[in-house]
């Protein structure tokens, strides 16, 4: 009798533990739409949601080493985009009108750093719109991130991936997908951690991204990117009075 009376409360206790565990599991499942999904599947949800919206506004702050700091303020559409760049590489504006043509205007430092204009020519062309066709060596770097489709792979961390705990960024509930630097940067030898924070409320778009690590040359990099205004109208027109970059001495 003593043995049976000792076992009875244990059975009840085990039943209570099972019930509590089931309740906790149910609460966890209902708390996030990502329950039961792999990190890669969560990234795919965010990717699809951003593509469906077609455009977004993003602000990125980058610090490289102890001497370089940059801010990018961008409105990226499906085929067009516009961006303002400020920081130690100068101040300038980039307009992507089509897949074949972009325009840039900035101070002398901006022209040297972003359009490879020779220093002895940069001051002459500062403040003037410069037409940069896709055939120019400067086009790719100048327009990077100005349209949504190619921007999305740059936001995604590389494997191995894992999900972070729920947190709040910019007043929104988010869950992070963390891994290495994105595939293109990892291929260049960048090493570090990249986290993409994705809204837990439909349409499950990314809200922010962070990077911390070392670039291929050994310089440290810290990057913070906040995204908003999904689905905004992004319309860019060619500025009047521009000059072709090929007409600037020393550029190709």
At 102 the pLDDT is 98
Q: Could you identify the residue written with the tokens 């750093």?
A: 113
Angle at which helices 39-53 and 148-155 cross, to 10°: 160
Q: Are strands 101-106 and 92-98 parallel, antiparallel or unpaired?
A: antiparallel
At 31 the pLDDT is 60
The β-bridge partners of 199 are 174
Reported as a single tens digit per residue, the pLDDT across 44-58 is 999 999 999 999 999
Domain ranges of the chain: 40-228
Q: What is 40-228's CATH topology?
A: outer membrane lipoprotein receptor (LolB), chain A (2.50.20)
* DSSP SS3 for 236: coil
At 32 the pLDDT is 79
Separation of alpha carbons 132 and 143, rounded Å: 10
Among 186, 210, 188, CA closest to 198: 210
At 15 the pLDDT is 41
Give, in order, the Cα–Cα distances in Å from 117 to each of 68, 114, 123: 20, 8, 10
Separation of alpha carbons 192 and 218, rounded Å: 12
Residues of the chain with pLDDT under 70: 1-31, 252
At 201 the pLDDT is 95
- Is 212 buried (19+), middle (13-18) or exposed (0-12) by CB count in 10 A? middle
At 220 the pLDDT is 97
Reported as a single tens digit per residue, the pLDDT across 175-193 is 999 999 999 999 999 999 9
What DSSP state is assigned to residue 202?
T
Structure tokens at 137: 């060596």
């Amino acid at each position: 009798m003593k043995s049976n009376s000792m076992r009875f409360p244990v059975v009840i206790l085990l039943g209570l533990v099972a019930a509590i565990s089931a309740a906790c599991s149910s609460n966890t499942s209902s708390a996030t739409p990502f329950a039961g999904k792999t990190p890669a599947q969560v990234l795919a949800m965010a990717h699809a949601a951003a593509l469906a919206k077609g455009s977004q506004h993003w602000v990125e702050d980058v610090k490289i080493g102890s001497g370089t700091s940059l801010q990018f303020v961008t409105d990226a559409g499906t085929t067009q985009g516009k961006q303002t760049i400020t920081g130690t590489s100068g101040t300038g504006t980039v307009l992507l009108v089509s897949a074949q043509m972009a325009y840039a205007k900035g101070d002398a430092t901006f022209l040297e750093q972003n359009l490879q204009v020779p220093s002895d020519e940069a001051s002459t062309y500062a403040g003037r719109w410069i037409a940069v066709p896709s055939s120019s060596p400067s086009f790719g770097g100048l327009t990077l991130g100005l349209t949504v489709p190619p921007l999305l792979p740059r936001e995604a961390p590389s494997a191995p991936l894992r999900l972070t705990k729920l947190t709040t960024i910019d007043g929104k509930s988010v869950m992070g997908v963390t891994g290495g630097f994105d595939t293109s940067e990892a291929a260049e030898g960048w090493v570090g951690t990249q986290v993409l924070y994705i809204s837990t409320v439909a349409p499950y778009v990314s809200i922010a991204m962070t990077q911390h690590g070392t670039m291929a040359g050994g310089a440290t990099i810290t990057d913070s990117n906040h995204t908003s205004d999904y689905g905004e109208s992004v319309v860019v027109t060619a500025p009047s009075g521009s000059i072709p970059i090929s007409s600037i001495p020393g550029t190709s």
